[in-house]
Structure 1
Amino acid sequence: MDGSPDITRIAALIGDPARANMLTALMSGRALTASELAQVAGITAQTASSHLARLADGGLIRQRKQGRHRYHALASTTVAELLETLMGIAAEAGHLRTRPGPRDPELRRARVCYDHLAGEMGTRMFESLLASGHLRRDGDAIRLTETGAELMRQLGIDPAPPRQSRSQACLECLDWSERRSHLAGRIGRALLARMIEKGWARREAGSRVVRFSAGGEAAFQALFGI
């Protein structure tokens, strides 16, 4: 053994259809119970509990108990980014679900990718921030520029990292439906939260879909139109 990371274990955990469906459901960023995840995966609650224990042991999800219920969430944004990247690879290779639902077009337009905006509107925002010079590429990294920091302040977002925070300000996340990047990291998370606070958009209950109001879409277009 050479001591390198064992990717086969992670691949096996994600590769099971029931576990993959549960992980995808957790991409909404919300913590869900075993019963809710069992319904998503089409399996019994007892089987779901076994799968969830394996996912927790593998470091892909975290669990916490509140009252009588135990809730499950993705372990980190890194896991969410891995899943989004795998979705992009699967889509590009033509490995698509055989039973698309009516929300597919809405998911492709605007959705939550764990805690930030994805889909057509997410990639448009990212490309606009780059084109306007608010973000810049620095090797493989994405940096917020001085003008970008000023824009964040105008939107009511503090661009400075919280004390002792280890989270990166800006991360590039491959969008599975657009095959381009959208903005993750602390700034990506703050932008989506601010749009919801301002009433531009809202999360659809029980879904990853993000719906923009007419006024919110006009404000988004004025700010991020290319």
Structure 2
Amino acid sequence: MRTEPDIATVARAIGEPARAAMLLQLMDGEAHTARRLATVAGIAPSTASSHLRMLCASGLVHVTDAGRRRLHRLAGPEVAQLVEALAALAPPRLPGTLQPVPPTDAILAARICYGHLAGQLGVEIAIVLRKDDIVPALAPGETGVVRTFGHPLLAALEITGLEPGRAGVRACVDWSHGTTHLAGALGSALLSGLLAAGWVRRRPAGRALRITAAGRERLAELGF
């Protein structure tokens, strides 16, 4: 009797360009309709439905009913970790129209990675908080605790505590820079704080964030 995990089933579900494009879009942590995901993948809505059924059957995507709409999300943070790890090994672009967010300077500079901050800004914040002994040095996927909230960046973003019941901080692979950024409760708090302060803004589509003029000024004052 075989007891090894059936990774081939998951690999088959991911290993098709349209489904891969959908998974990358769902990395924004939001819920999307099949029509929206079809647009992202460059396919017809009827075709998208069959792809989404496969993603749901493989446990990668969860669907809920919201009135007359059916909304799709990643099934959980472990799926987001898998997608980000694969992205770190993958070529930088999907072929042709199956590019949900072109790897422009915007997505490289700052983006959302399943509820936390990624890209160059996320990496720079991780480096500084490690250097200043706010968080420990962690290997990809490792978790740790926030040692203190006494840091100018955390004070400026009004981060004095973290959501209970979650890992304080986790090192998440950043595919665009070959290193790690901060996930876990601290990663989510940093993203929420930056958005609330108006230092970054969501763009109309995709996962890229826009660093505002006020954000650049305040981050520069804090050494970023």
How far apart are 1:151 and its partner, in Å?
6.4
Answer yes or no: is 1:113 the counterpart of 2:110: no
Secondary structure (helix, strand or coil) at the match of 2:137 reads strand
**Structure 1 unaligned residues grouped into runs of 5+:** none
TM-score (norm 1): 0.88
Determine the structure 2 residue equivalent to 1:201. Answer: 200
Determine the structure 2 residue equivalent to 1:223. Answer: 222
- 1:171-212 Cα offsets, whole Å, 9 max, x none, are 111111101101111110111011111111111011211111
When structure 1 is superposed on structure 2, of 20-29 and 152-161 the one drifting more is: 152-161
How far apart are 1:170 and its partner, in Å?
0.7
Cα 1:224–1:122 shift into 2, 3 Å = farther
When structure 1 is superposed on structure 2, of 150-159 and 65-74 the one drifting more is: 150-159
Residue type matched to 1:4 in 2?
E
Determine the structure 2 residue equivalent to 1:214. Answer: 213
- Note the 1:131-146 alignment, pairs <5 A: 131-137=131-137, 140-146=142-148
Distance in 2 of aligned mates of 1:185 and 1:79: 14
How far apart are 1:98 and its partner, in Å?
4.8
Answer yes or no: is 1:59 the counterpart of 2:63: no
Determine the structure 1 residue equivalent to 2:157. Answer: 155
Cα 1:107–1:150 shift into 2, 3 Å = closer
Secondary structure (helix, strand or coil) at the match of 2:90 reads helix
- 1:90-141 Cα offsets, whole Å, 9 max, x none, are 14xxx63355776611111111111111111110011110011111137843
**Structure 2 unaligned residues grouped into runs of 5+:** none
Distance in 1 of aligned mates of 2:102 and 2:56: 32
Distance in 2 of aligned mates of 1:120 and 1:138: 18
How far apart are 1:27 and its partner, in Å?
1.1
- 1:40-89 Cα offsets, whole Å, 9 max, x none, are 11222111111111111211111111111111011112211211111111
Answer yes or no: is 1:29 the counterpart of 2:29: yes
Q: How many residues align?
A: 219
- Contact 2:162/2:185 (<8 A) preserved: no
- Contact 1:125/1:224 (<8 A) preserved: no
How big is the alpha-carbon RMSD for the aligned residues of Structure 1 and Structure 2?
Answer: 2.2
TM-score (norm 2): 0.88
How far apart are 1:160 and its partner, in Å?
4.3
- Contact 2:134/2:149 (<8 A) preserved: yes
- Contact 2:152/2:222 (<8 A) preserved: no
- Contact 1:27/1:113 (<8 A) preserved: yes
- Contact 1:149/1:159 (<8 A) preserved: no
Distance in 2 of aligned mates of 1:204 and 1:160: 26
Answer yes or no: is 1:68 the counterpart of 2:65: no
Distance in 1 of aligned mates of 2:102 and 2:86: 22
Determine the structure 1 residue equivalent to 2:80. Answer: 80
Distance in 2 of aligned mates of 1:64 and 1:204: 25
Distance in 2 of aligned mates of 1:160 and 1:35: 36
- Contact 1:133/1:147 (<8 A) preserved: no
Answer yes or no: is 1:97 the counterpart of 2:94: yes
Distance in 1 of aligned mates of 2:217 and 2:200: 11
Cα 1:141–1:57 shift into 2, 3 Å = same
Cα 1:160–1:185 shift into 2, 3 Å = closer
How far apart are 1:156 and its partner, in Å?
2.2
Distance in 1 of aligned mates of 2:102 and 2:41: 18
